[in-house]
């Protein structure tokens, strides 16, 4: 299949170019950059809280995995796994990996896997880059019904695992706990809402052993990440998610290659400035561009940041330079919108814009908007409501509320995992646990403090639960 014109020298666009014309401009850029970094830390994007989120969701994945007794591995992915969204700010993306099925690249031998494991062979010919079909090589002795019922004939007497049937089978069979509403499938994911405000997206995935793809990525010349991180990312391997290339005649039986665990590790190895650059880009997407159907997604922006980190010296990313890097990243996004080309960081031959679904009117609007932003210099940061609100707010009460919000989120993350530890085999929650009670008591104390101060300042406070939701959104 054609590669939609993706050029092999694409990463060149992610190298830094000059954007400041005078010493006075440089001073303004640097001063505003430092202030922006400080504000982002107050907003909950400081190093300590980000790491606490990453640790908490990594531990959550381990606790969920332990309940499966080896049958599946749970990985919290997306902005939660990256530590870049607060507790109620966005959906929790959970990838459930079936440990009874392994998919192998063309040249990998299957004899090393025990008989209970189902082995599938990837067929990448006639599929778009980063996608494949899965041919049954050996049916395991402990194959799950959801897997077994997802096979279909390829027309030549061979069995292919249908990505479409696979999602449908799990959508129909998954156990839904009390108090949880399961929604219609959305592509490869099965969305759920718990207690009315906790939103989850479940994706059932498969292990994919693909040393050729990973060794090609690892061999690239780069400034970042360091060699030991590259090797660790390779060791984390790949996964296949049940979604085909949009428009492909084989879409219903195609699977997409992804590197969720490796990408979480890469994001955790960005420095503070690179991480905050990614946060700013996500804010621009949500508050300025307002995509309707993920024509530009956080994943698009993450790939721009990863390319920039790889192709530029780490020392050039510091708190005085963040707005200059934001200028470079916006320019890279504008080029991607103009050319409809953006290489996937792990597999550059795959063009992330190939299925963006961007119509011409929206394309023109976004290109014009980003061009205006590039011409605004450091004041572009005022387009972001959260940043603007912090600049005009009185610093003392803002810092006070910020401190309570950070403490409240860290307590909630600890309670989340302690609560999981205190569940029995029937998923019943033991609220008599001393640690659970201590955490809940402190959460209530923080909420009371916030409520009292809000009333003193003339705010209309409904109840502490409303405060809790508002703070952690």
Least confident of 153-157, 394-398, 423-427: 423-427
Quote the pTM value: 0.91
Same domain, residue pair 251 and 148:
yes
Same domain, residue pair 231 and 276:
no
- Which of the listed residues 339, 364, 392 is the one where a domain comes to its end? 392
Q: Is residue 134 in a domain? A: yes
Residue 78 confidence (pLDDT):
93
Q: Is the pLDDT of residue 11 over 70?
A: no
Q: Is residue 73 in a domain? A: yes
DSSP structural state of residue 352? T
Pairing type for strands 180-182 and 189-194 reads antiparallel
Q: Is residue 59 in a domain? A: no
- Residues above pLDDT 90, as percent of the chain: 63
Same domain, residue pair 152 and 98:
yes
- What confidence tier does 6 reach under pLDDT thresholds 50, 70, 90? very low
- Which of the listed residues 263, 288, 318 is the one where a domain comes to its end? 263
Q: Which of 468, 330, 464 is nearest to 408 (CA)?
A: 468
Using alpha carbons only, give the angle 125, 129, 134 rounded to the nearest 5 degrees: 50
Q: What average pLDDT does this structure show over 142-157? A: 91
In CATH, what number is assigned to the domain containing residue 307?
1.10.1410.40
Residue 376 CB contacts under 8 Å (≥ 6 apart), including other chains: 383
Same domain, residue pair 31 and 178:
no
Helical segments of 193-292, H only = 211-218, 227-236, 260-268, 272-284
Q: Which of 42, 92, 77 is nearest to 389 (CA)?
A: 42
- What confidence tier does 90 reach under pLDDT thresholds 50, 70, 90? confident
- Which of the listed residues 335, 362, 392 is the one where a domain comes to its end? 392
| 114 to 63, 138, 149, 391: CA distances (angstroms) | 26, 11, 22, 60
Which residue range forms the structural domain that includes residue 364? Answer: 1-45+270-392
Residue with tokens 């909950």: 44
Cα separation, 335 vs 333, in Å, equals: 5
Pairing type for strands 198-209 and 92-104 reads parallel
Q: Which of 320, 278, 344, 299 is nearest to 77 (CA)?
A: 299
The number of folded domains in the chain is 3
Same domain, residue pair 32 and 127:
no
Same domain, residue pair 198 and 75:
yes
């Amino acid at each position: 299949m054609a590669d939609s014109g993706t050029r092999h020298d694409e990463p060149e666009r992610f190298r830094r170019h000059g954007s400041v014309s005078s010493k006075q401009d440089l001073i303004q850029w640097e001063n505003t950059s430092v202030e922006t970094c400080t504000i982002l830390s107050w907003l909950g994007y400081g190093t300590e809280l980000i790491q606490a989120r990453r640790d908490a969701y990594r531990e959550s994945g381990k606790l969920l995995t332990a309940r499966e007794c080896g049958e599946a591995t749970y990985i919290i992915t997306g902005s939660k796994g990256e530590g870049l969204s607060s507790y109620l700010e966005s959906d929790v993306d959970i990838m459930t990996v079936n440990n009874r099925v392994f998919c192998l690249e063309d040249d990998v031998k299957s004899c090393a896997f025990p008989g209970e494991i189902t082995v599938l062979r990837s067929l990448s010919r006639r599929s778009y880059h980063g996608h494949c079909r899965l041919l049954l090589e050996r049916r395991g002795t402990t194959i799950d019904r959801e897997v077994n019922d997802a096979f279909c004939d390829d027309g030549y007497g061979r069995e292919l695992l249908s990505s479409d049937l696979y999602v449908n089978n799990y959508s129909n069979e998954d156990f839904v706990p009390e108090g949880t509403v399961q929604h219609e499938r959305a592509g490869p994911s099965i969305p759920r809402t718990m207690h009315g405000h906790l939103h989850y997206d479940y994706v059932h995935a498969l292990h994919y052993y693909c040393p050729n793809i990973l060794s090609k990525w690892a061999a690239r010349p780069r400034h970042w990440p360091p060699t030991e991180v590259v090797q660790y990312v390779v060791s984390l391997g790949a996964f296949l998610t049940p979604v085909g290339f949009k428009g492909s005649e084989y879409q219903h039986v195609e699977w997409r290659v992804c590197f969720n665990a490796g990408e979480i590790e890469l994001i955790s190895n960005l420095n503070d400035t690179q991480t905050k650059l990614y946060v700013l880009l996500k804010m621009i997407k949500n508050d300025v561009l307002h995509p309707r159907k993920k024509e530009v997604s956080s994943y698009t922006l993450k790939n721009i940041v990863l390319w920039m980190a790889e192709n530029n010296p780490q020392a050039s990313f510091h708190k005085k330079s963040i707005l200059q890097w934001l200028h470079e990243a916006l320019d890279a996004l504008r080029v991607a919108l103009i050319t409809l080309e953006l290489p996937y960081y792990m597999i550059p031959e795959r063009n992330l814009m190939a299925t963006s679904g961007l119509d011409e009117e929206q394309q023109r609007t976004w290109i014009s908007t980003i061009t205006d932003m590039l011409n605004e210099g450091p004041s572009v940061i005022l387009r972001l409501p959260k940043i603007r609100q912090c600049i005009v707010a009185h610093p003392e009460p803002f810092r006070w509320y910020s401190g309570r919000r950070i403490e409240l989120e860290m307590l909630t993350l600890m309670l989340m995992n302690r609560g999981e530890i205190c569940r029995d085999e029937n998923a019943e929650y033991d609220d008599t646990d001393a640690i659970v009670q201590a955490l809940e008591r402190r959460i209530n104390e923080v909420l009371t403090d916030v409520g009292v101060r809000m009333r003193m300042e003339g705010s209309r406070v409904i109840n502490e639960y409303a405060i809790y939701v508002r703070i952690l959104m």
